[in-house]
Every structure is written in C-alpha cells, then in structure tokens.
Structure 1
Amino acid sequence: MADKNKYVCLDDFENDSREILEASRFSYFSDGCNEQFTLKENREAFKRYRLRPKILRDVSNIDLNTTILGERISWPVCLSPTAFHRMADYNEGEVATARAAASVGSAMALSCVSTRTIEDVAAVTPRGVRWMQVQFYKPRAQLEVLIKRAEKAGFTALLVTVDQPKIGDKYSIMRVKNALQFQLQDHEKPVNLPKDNYTNGNEIISKFDDSATWQDVKWLKYFTKLPLVLKGITTGDQAKNAVECGVDGILVSNHGGRQLDYLPATIDALPEVVAAVAGSGVEVYMDGGVRHGTDVFKALARGARAVFIGRPIIWGLTCNGYEGAKQVLDILKDEVEKVMAFMGCRNVNEIEPSMVVHEDYYRKCKL
C-alpha cells in the first residue's frame, strides 16, 4: 500500500504513476495529440489568470454545495469520463472511482468503454449522482441498448461526446508503440458495448459513427427522457447549435488535448460559450487541465457551474486504488475550500467574474 502522506498535491500522483504503469499505458492516459500544444496549454492558461480577493469577510463557514441539472452535489467538482480504469486499478477500476466520487459528494460520468459494467457502478453508488457518457455508434442500435441500460440503472443524464469522429495521432506514442494498438488484457476490455471481446483500441474506434450531425443530437433528444449534456464544445456557434437542439448542458472540453491540437485552452474558451447560451437555461461546465483549487475557482468565476477532472483520478487509482482516488478528491476539495476563504466567498454564489482577471489587466493598468 502506498504511503498516503507522500502525496501533497495532484501532480505527486502523476509522478508516481509514471513509475508504476507500463510505459505504453501511461502514455495512453497522459499524452496529447501531435505536438501536445493543447495538452500543455490547458494547464498553462490557468497560470495567466490572477485572483482579486475580497478581504475581511466572515469566512468561518464555507459552503461548497451546488447543483448540476437540479441534483445536489457537495462541491462543484465532478469526474469526467475516462476509459479503461482497470488499467490503473486491476481489482476495482470504475467501481473504485464511483465509490471515491460518492464519498466526497462528487458526480461521476461513466465512460462508454469502461472496464466495469453500468450495473456494477450503480450498485456501489445507490445515492450517487451518475451520468452515462455515450458516443454515436454504428450500428445505432448499440447506442440505444447502452442508453436503456443506463436509464434502468438509475443514471440521471447522458454526457454525449461530440468532438471525436476519429482518433487523433499521438506522435510520442507512435514513435515507440501505439497505445491504441497494444493488446488489451482480459480485465482491461470494455464490458458495456454489445461486443465485449475487443482486443485493441482500433476495434473500438471502428464503431464510432463519423457521419453523425446535429440531426443525430435531435434524434437522441427524442429517444431518451434523460437530460443531454454535450461534451466537446469550444465555440459560441457550437453552443448556440446545441441550444437549438434542446440540450440541457454543455461541457466545454477539448478532450484533454488528446484528439485535435491547437484548440484553445478550455479556461480561455469558457466565457464565449457561457455568453452564447445566456438566458437559455443551459448549464455550462468545463474540463481540461484542472489540478489546483485555484483552477476550480478561476473556472467558476469565468462562468462554469462546475468543473470536471479526468487524468488525476487515473493517477490516484494507479497509486492506491480507491484510497488513492479518494485522496485526490480530498486534497482538491480542501484546496477549493481554502481558496474560497482567501477569496472572501462563503458559498459559490458569492464568486464574481471580477475576482479573476487575465494577467494583461495589470500590464495595461496605468497609475
């Protein structure tokens, strides 16, 4: 068992994971596509924003509670869908992730290529907030089956990935060994797709429907009564299209820099999307590069209702299974609460856009 006292921030888990995971699997989780510009920019962009606190306010009681799609969560951080959790945690995989999320009052989005069943995850989190991530598949009947299972298991929303018609190239992996071509061990195979004996990632990718359009989103809206959240939107025009299709939420995401390089950092793209859906009732969330409590605060100030994290949970699972995943969330939650106190905010409703400014604000200031 890992020494939990050695981990003081989320990056510590990634550093250890590099030594624990087999190289191609670490690369699969960690690397971005092509030059990895977007992967790096997601994190670097946060550093360009400065905090403007309100001081001498009574912050003896901090309330992080909020809601997403009307469901209460204990703090505004949720878990993005990531595939193959049993690559990181042989024994439990997504079950450990779900338990960790529920233990701290976070919502979890389960990947459609998870290594534990929809029903397994539902069983260990009977009162947890669970969303099901889906993509458009061919044949479409595969998607229909997946949705019906999620509905029956008590998942409360569909998170629809819309920015992945194909798979982006990852130079760093291709030069050594393509992580999408390595042979999946039995415990690493996706178990929720109708054909559950995939041996490598390319077989999974072949089922993605690269002909899907906005009409398919409209079809999905009528097929299920679950709320729809579209994941992978980075522009105002895309957001307006989503509103026209009747979606309930948008997750501003560039897929963690994994698919298309030179997309904007999500913290930069966020306000444009928020402005585009203003007055529609559509909620806006964000993922990409969140590693610190200050990152969470900056995203909330710039318009996100909640933020989602992906890779840090994988690193927590790798280091110590359920306990590692929970520690990742505990550390981040503690950081968010302290940032709220320093910023003079007793609850998320007191966070104001003026509390976060781009560094250029100070360069342009004239005394």
Structure 2
Amino acid sequence: MRWMDTLAREAERRLPTPVLTYFQQGAGAGLSAAEAEASWDAPRLLPHVLRDVSAVSTRTSVLGTEVDTPVLVAPTTLQRQAHEEGEVAMLRGAAAAGSLVCVSSNAGVPFRSLTDFGPWWVQAYVLRDRKLTVEMLDRARTAGARAVVLTADTPVVGEKYGTGPSVWETVPPEHLLTNVDGQGVAEARLEKAADLTPAAIDWLRTATGLPVVVKGVLRADDARECVAAGASAVWVSNHGGRQLDGALATARALPPIAEALAGTGAELYVDGGIRNGRHALIALALGATAVFVGRPALWALTVDGATGVERLLTALTAELTHAMTLAGTPDIPSLTPDLVAD
C-alpha cells in the first residue's frame, strides 16, 4: 500500500469528529465529491515510445514563479485544527518540496507569519464589505502573496448535512478569519458577496496590483469571459464537491475549457480528486498548467506537519516523473492532449 493511501485513515484517528466531518464532507448527497477521483481514473493513455527519457523534469512556472513540481496545494481552512502551526507548516512543507501554496482568506495564522517561507498566493472570498476585503488582501500582499485567487463559485455556502455539533461551534475563534478585522462589524457585512460580476476581476487586480486567478470555473464560456475581463489564469474546480452538488467532475470540465483558452496566454489550473501522478499527468496533458491537491495535503499536515506535506508532494511528483518516463514525455511541455485517448 502506498504511504499516501494511509493518510486519510491515520488523520481520522487524530482529528476531532466535527473537524474530520467538515474536511471530508461534500455538499448535499455528496455526488460530486464521491465521483471526483474516479473521473481521473477513467481516461486511458497513449504513450510514446522511442523517446529519450534518460532525464525527466517536472520543473515549470506558474504566473512567473518557478516551481520544481506542477503539483501545488489548494486553499483549505481550519489548518490549525490539523496541526498547531497550521498554514506555516503547510508552507514549510510545500517549499521543501519545491511547490507553492494557495492560502485561504480564512487562514488561522496572520499573513505576516508566512513572509519567510516559500511562494504563496492568497485565496479571496469577496465579502459584502468590500473595504474589509481590500484590507485583508493588502495584508496578504504586504506579507508576500504573489497572486489573488478569486473564489467565484460561493455566493452562498453549499448546504452540508450532518449530525452532532457543527465545527463552527467547536473551533476557537482565533483559528478563523485571523486576517479579517471584523471587530465591531455587523455579521452581515462579513458574509460572502452574492453580487459579483466579471468586473470584480479588474477591481481586485487594480486594488492589489497582483495577477488575479478565477477559481471555481466549470464552463468554457465563463472561462473566456474571465480572461477577457483581465484574469491571468482560470482554475477549474467544483470546490471539492462542496458547493453545488451534482456539478460536473473537473476531469470532464477541463478539456473544453483548455480548448476555449488556447492562444489567450492565460494559465489553467485544476483540482478535485487528483490522488496520484497518473492523474496529474492526465490533467497536464489535457491542458492544465498545474494541478492542486486539497484534502490529501490536509491529511498529510494532520499526520506529520511540514514533514508530512513535503513527503506527500515529493511522492506525488515522483509518481508524475515515473508516469512521464513511461509515457515518453521528458518535460512538461511534451505533455499534450494526444496522450489521452478519446
């Protein structure tokens, strides 16, 4: 058994039940969450032969940042419930593996504590109070965030079903929204904005001076509109199956979006059910610039902190390297759509 396959079960033994439930659950009946991994297992590959693969490189760049691996870490909240160092440990582990982290705007540590670690982006939920949003992003930019990731699929939070106490009833307040100054602010102003349009992309870019990535895109027409509005990249995601249940698996949504963005210069990312190097190879061949993992990184953080995160990302990159070798593809640019059978 792969070490990575033991992580979820080991994390189950360590996490408080409400936190474990929150990390695991999808929205509604859990249809989208349940089919994510299988959707990457379905495609079949057409490997090249007689190609020089004596040296295989996974090095690439994302929005101008050089990374040793295209396997990156997606934003997740409550990381201090997984490990006492929270996002600090996540960044340390990712940096040691030559990767990059997208840090949640709901982070449990101050952005300023992340300055001395590896490259990171900040994920943004735009709040009803735009001023609070800009102040939060200003803190991130000052601390070294290199891009803003606008989560676009959450005008409201997808309904989750469960029994027992909610995670929000059990988590200390200091583990949430550490970088949003909500003191004395009406709770309604801290809710997510439901009135966003493509104009929000240029607004964020102007307010922060950083490139903007739009996360939560599943449609080719939306992807084109995001890039036309100024997005530097589009992130194909159904939020880990945590928003609209029954939303299309990202493995199926990726190809038409890649086709729609061809020639635009925009980068393209994908998450959702990527659990091994073969999955990553398929995503990259289908047009992704990089792939992101969410829950596996949380499990690794829970089990062994920064060391666990480094080991996870290093292992996934090693699997990707192995798959690339067998596919006759010595570098990331050689991963092309014809490697995946129709």
What is the TM-score normalised by the length of structure 1? 0.88
Question: What is the match of residue 97 of structure 1?
Answer: 90
Give deviations 1:170-223, integer Å, cap 9, x for gaps.
22x2x33433x323225523311113799xxxx699521112222222322322
- The yes-or-no answer on 1:297 pairing with 2:281 is yes
Contact 1:190/1:196 (<8 A) preserved:
no
The one-letter code matched in structure 2 to 1:89 is H
String of CA shifts for 1:55-113, please: whole Å, max 9, x gaps.
Answer: 233322111111111221111111111111011002x1100000011111111111001
Describe how 1:194-343 pairs up with structure 2 within 5 A.
194-195=181-182, 206-343=190-327
Who is 1:4 aligned against? none
Moved more, 61-70 or 206-215: 206-215
1:189 pairs with one of 151, 155, 176: 176
CA positional deviation for 1:134 = 0.8
The CA deviation string for residues 259-308 of structure 1, in whole angstroms up to 9 with x for no partner, is: 11111110110011112222211111101111100000000011101001
Secondary structure of 1:51's counterpart equals: coil
Counterpart residue identity of residue 22, structure 1: P
Are positions 1:44 and 2:44 aligned together? no
Unaligned stretches of 5+ in structure 1?
1-6, 359-367
Q: Is the 8 A contact 1:189 1:196 kept in 2?
A: no
| Root mean square deviation of aligned Cα | 1.9
CA distance in structure 1 between the partners assigned to 2:51 and 2:208 by the alignment? 46
Give 2:164's match in structure 1, choosing from 176, 192, 195: 176
Deviation at 1:329, TM superposition (A): 1.1
Identity %: 33
Contact 2:128-2:188 at 8 Å conserved across structures: no
Q: 1:197 to 1:18 in 2, by over 3 A?
A: farther
What is the aligned partner in structure 2 of residue 66 from structure 1? 60
Q: Distance in 1 between matches of 2:308 and 2:188?
A: 29
For residue 106 of structure 1, the aligned residue among 99, 104, 109 is: 99
8 Å CA contact 2:58, 2:317 repeated in 1: no
Is 1:8 paired with 2:2? yes
Give the residue type in structure 1 aligned to 2:27.
C
What amino acid sits opposite 1:154 in the alignment? G
Stretches of structure 2 lacking an aligned partner (at least 5 in a row): none
Would the aligned equivalents of 1:297 and 1:336 in 2 still touch at CA under 8 Å? yes
Q: Matches of 2:138 and 2:227 in 1, distance apart?
A: 24
Paired residue type of 1:146:
M
The alignment status of 1:150 with 2:150, answered yes or no, reads no
Q: What secondary structure sits across from 2:341 in the alignment?
A: strand
- 327-336 or 229-238, which deviates more: 327-336
Please give the secondary structure, in 2, of the residue aligned with 1:307: strand
**Partners of 1:93 and 1:115 within 8 A in 2:** yes
Tell me how far apart the structure 1 counterparts of residues 184 and 288 of structure 2 sit (CA, whole Å): 38
Render the CA deviation track for 1:7-46: whole Å, top value 9, x for unaligned. Answer: 8242310111112111111010111011111111211111
- Please state whether the residue corresponding to 2:137 is helix, strand or coil: helix
Q: Which moved more, 1:205-214 or 1:128-137?
A: 205-214
Alignment deviations for residues 338-365 of structure 1 (CA, whole Å, 9 cap, x no partner): 111111111111112111125xxxxxxx
For the 8 Å contact 2:139–2:179, the answer to whether it is kept is: no
* Deviating more after overlay: 78-87 vs 47-56: 47-56
Distance 2:139 2:21 in 1: 32
Match of 1:133? 123
Query: Partner amino acid for 2:59?
Result: N
Deviation larger for 316-325 or 304-313: 316-325
Measured in 2, the distance between the counterparts of 1:352 and 1:183 equals 47
